[in-house]
Structure 1
Amino acid sequence: MNLVKSLALGSAAAFVALTGAQAADLPGAEPVEYVKVCDAYGAGFFYIPGSDTCLQIGGFARLDVSVGEVVKNNAGVKPNNNVGFRTRARLWFDARTDTEYGTVRTYIRAQFQRQSGALGLAAATDVGVGDDSIFDKAFVQFAGLTAGLTDSFWDFKPYPTFTNPFISDRTLSVLAYTADFGGGFSASIAVEDGTARRSATLAGLPGSVGSNYNEQKFPDIVGNVRVQQGWGEAQISGFAHNITNELGGRDTAWGYGGQVGVKVNLPSLAKGDFVYGTAAYSSGSLSYLGVGQTGDSVFGIAQTQNVDRGNRLSDFEVDGGGNIRKTEGYAFNLGLLHYWDPKWRSAFQGTYINVNVKAAGQDWAAYGLTTNLIWTPVKKLDIGGEVNYVKNTNTSDVYALRKKDEFIGRMRVQRDF
């Protein structure tokens, strides 16, 4: 019996060996190449088959529902929505290749959203109002160079709420160089698209003939110095913004501003906790304070920043002699993120802005207080609610808070991958 088993096993082994040898000789056989993990740049990267480039793919799907009787009406024509919906999807690709000059990085991010019946906008029956596909980011980084569409090098935005405070949060075309000094210290200088920061109006006011930008003669010049270490991060940034006017005579001027931002980690309270604060000043470009431009958004979905788009959001006015008179403003933000436990966290935030428009009766100020509670039942799934209290001194009947102050609520469900 043992002899029979030995002969059977030997015959099977010989057959497998022969079959394998014949298969190796078949014409056109290609080796199988499996996706391999790339651990050089952190979790989630893998090698693109047939290349030495590492790729990471990510994104999210999100629903926001906002509630609040934010404005009286829409120029007295239609009542405004008290409830708004927005669904957004984001998809991004991060490709990196190691070279003799350092890492070459290519990053692309796109957003797709539907915003229908938006909070604060006139009532509408078209459920497609607000459909949008956003070419959000696309840039290359190499040897300190950043070129493409990305965050402004002015921005410092570690805020932990759904709601944007009075802080710049924009993507725009830039060409920048960053010097890395080691130890977490760096400095950057950038030229950025100034047209993405423009806000003006043709309406004339007492003492002015309105404002309107002419051609872009020079790009915005933006610089920062920052440090990022285990304790947190800090940044000092500044900008110069060219203004060329075409109303009431031709004049040109430079806007400018500065910002200080600090974030301090608080692991002694709980893992992931931090406190942050910013202080910023702008002369000649309100977008650097987070208001004015169409892409700037404060206090939630759509127009809930509650400031009319007249001269109160204009970067400058022009006097009777054709001279540019720049709008000035400053903004402060303070926030805290706290983890009650690994699955529950809350944020607390205060934001304030004060704007001086160089036309009679157009100055305004506003502030907001925000808090939320977010539940993460499983990794990368957030379900949360947020409440904002907002108040401003805007007196316009066209675009103002119903009672000059208001509570705005928001619920969010988001799944990252």
Structure 2
Amino acid sequence: MKLVKSLALGSAAAFVALSGAQAADLPGAEPVEYVKVCDAYGAGFFYIPGSETCLQIGGFARLDFSAGEVSRTIAGTKPNNNTGFRARARLWFDARTDTEYGTLRTYIRAQFQRQSGGNNAVAQSDINGDDALFDKAFVQFAGLTAGLTDSFWDFKPYATFANPYVSDRTLALIGYTVEFAPGFSASIAIEDGTARRAIATTPGQPGFVTPNYNEQKYPDIVGNLRVQQGWGEAQLSGFAHNITTEQTGGVPAVLTNRDTAWGYGGMVGVKINLPALAKGDYIWGSAGYSSGSLSYLGFGTSGDEVQGIANTQNIERANRLVDFEVGAGGKIRKTEAYAFNLGLLHYWDPKWRSSVQGSYIDVNVKSAGNDWAAYTLTGNLIWSPVKKLDIGAEVNYVKVTKRSSTYNLRDTDEVIGRFRVQRDF
């Protein structure tokens, strides 16, 4: 038996050697170039064959199911569905090359989505049901960032499914970052102000059409100071947002008044790691102020989303969401708002984690009776049976503590539940 095994192994070795020699002798044969791991930028990168560029490919697939109370109007109608679904997929490519000026980076992220649960109890997917988003595409080089990416204002380390009262936007911008020391930086950017607009209204102005934003005269100016160390991270942000509007009256319409103003605001955010509790634990909080652009606090435009899926159980949106109003003489009167958030993420063990979060917003609209305020309390539990697979449930309580005169719902609070399954790769 040993002799048979020896003969078989010897024959196999001779065959492999002969095959290799014959392949090497073939005219025009090219050497095979295998993909190599690139460890210069972290896990998951590999060299693109034939280049010095490292590439990472990633993404996720996710399903959310949302269910909760539905607030009826004073007239008794039901403006929203009780339940809604959202299926979302993301795919991104992160390419980096080392140069004499530092890392040259190109990042592209696409997002595809289908959702239901819009207004008027529709059975089919709502108007945004089939959605492919050009979500991110930017270049970074020697401190420069140019393209479609996160606003330089944003600070969002929250771990809940529902957004707290913070901005979570991608928009077009050109920015520059200076790093003073490892982990300490300052940034300035010009950003697309049209992505931050909430509709404006003119209460009590008979004979005038409702004004809105006119041309974008200047882009938004956004800056931040940031520190990121082993203990956590902190950021101070500020913005300036240009508003231009006009009033017309008569038939045919004639320009009667025109005004321009600058909105502005600031935010401070802090995240503190808590390894003494468990690996991965942290507490975070933020406080923000806005005058003239509610989007910077997470409200007011189609890209902002706080609670619920589509318009399902989104009680805050029944209130006045305007960046400004126009008073007598066409003068702009900016809406002011304050927002506060506090949250905690805790790992019970490597496979189970929870987050709790509280948020509060107070919106001051200039016309009498249209101020409003609300708070939310959120908690979830997430199970990760295998790496990069999350199965979790979340409960979100929303309470409106001060109504605007345009608020026409019977109830001032809602309980929203959400179930999520997500696989990252």
TM-score, reference length from structure 1:
0.91
Cα distance between partner residues in 1 of 2:412 and 2:44: 47
Does residue 229 (structure 1) correspond to residue 229 (structure 2)? The answer is yes
State how 1:88-127 maps to structure 2 within 5 Å. 88-118=88-118, 121-127=119-125
Give the counterpart letter for 1:357 in structure 2. Answer: V
Q: Does 1:244 align with 2:244?
A: yes
Give the aligned residue type for 1:62: R
SS class of match (2:195): helix
| Contact 1:115/1:131 (<8 A) preserved | yes
C-alpha contact 1:207 1:360 (8 A) present in aligned 2: no
**TM-superposition CA deviations, 1:58-104 (whole Å, max 9, x none):** 11111101111233259976653101111101111100011111110
- Whether 1:307 aligns to 2:316 is yes
The residue aligned with 1:218 is 218
Partner of 2:366: 358
Which of residues 379, 387, 408 is equivalent to 1:379?
387
Q: Pick from 275, 293, 296 the counterpart of residue 285 of structure 1.
A: 293
Partner of 2:274 in structure 1?
266
Indicate how the Cα distance of structure 1 residues 187 and 24 shifts in structure 2: closer, same or farther if over 3 A, else same.
same
Contact residue 57 and residue 92 of structure 1 kept, 8 A: yes
Provide Cα deviations, 1:95-154, integer angstroms capped at 9, x if missing partner: 001111111000000111110234xx2211324751111111000000000000000000
In 1: Cα distance, 2:334 partner to 2:369 partner: 15
In the TM superposition, what are the counterparts of 1:34-113 in structure 2 within 5 Å? 34-72=34-72, 80-113=80-113
On the 8 A contact 1:73/1:122 being kept in 2, the answer is: no
Deviates more, 1:242-251 or 1:262-271: 242-251
What SS class does the counterpart of residue 212 from structure 1 fall into?
A: coil
**Aligned pairs (5 A) from 1:115-264:** 115-118=115-118, 121-127=119-125, 129=127, 130-201=129-200, 203-206=201-204, 210-247=210-247, 249-264=257-272
Residues 9 and 108 of structure 1, relative CA distance in 2, 3 Å threshold: closer
**Aligned pair in 2 of structure 1 residues 249, 54: CA closer, same or farther (>3 Å)?**
same
Is 1:33 the counterpart of 2:42 in the alignment?
A: no
Letter in 1 for 2:91: L
User: Whole-Å Cα distance in 2 between the matches of residues 356 and 46 of structure 1?
Assistant: 52
* Cα separation, partners in 2 of 1:276 and 1:320, compared to 1, 3 Å: same
The aligned residue for residue 334 of structure 2 is 326
* Aligned equivalents of 1:113, 1:245: Cα separation in 2: 34
TM-score by length of 2: 0.90
Q: Is the 8 A contact 1:211 1:314 kept in 2?
A: no
Match of 2:23 in 1: 23
Q: Distance in 2 between the 1:368 and 1:181 partners?
A: 38
Q: Offset of 1:397 from its aligned partner?
A: 7.0
Deviates more, 1:240-249 or 1:96-105: 240-249
Q: Report the CA distance shift for 1:237/1:28 in structure 2 as closer, same or farther (over 3 A).
A: same
| Superposition RMSD in Å | 2.5
Matches of 1:43 and 1:226, distance apart in 2: 25
Question: Partner amino acid for 1:56?
Answer: Q
Unpaired runs of 5+ residues, structure 2, are 1-7, 248-255
Deviation at 1:50, TM superposition (A): 1.3
Cα distance change, pair 342–217 in 1 and its aligned pair in 2 (3 A): same
Q: Does structure 1 retain, via aligned residues, the 8 Å contact 2:116–2:310? A: no
- 1:31/1:65 Cα in 2 relative to 1: closer, same or farther (>3 Å)? same
- Alignment partner of 2:190: what SS? strand
Count the aligned residue pairs.
407
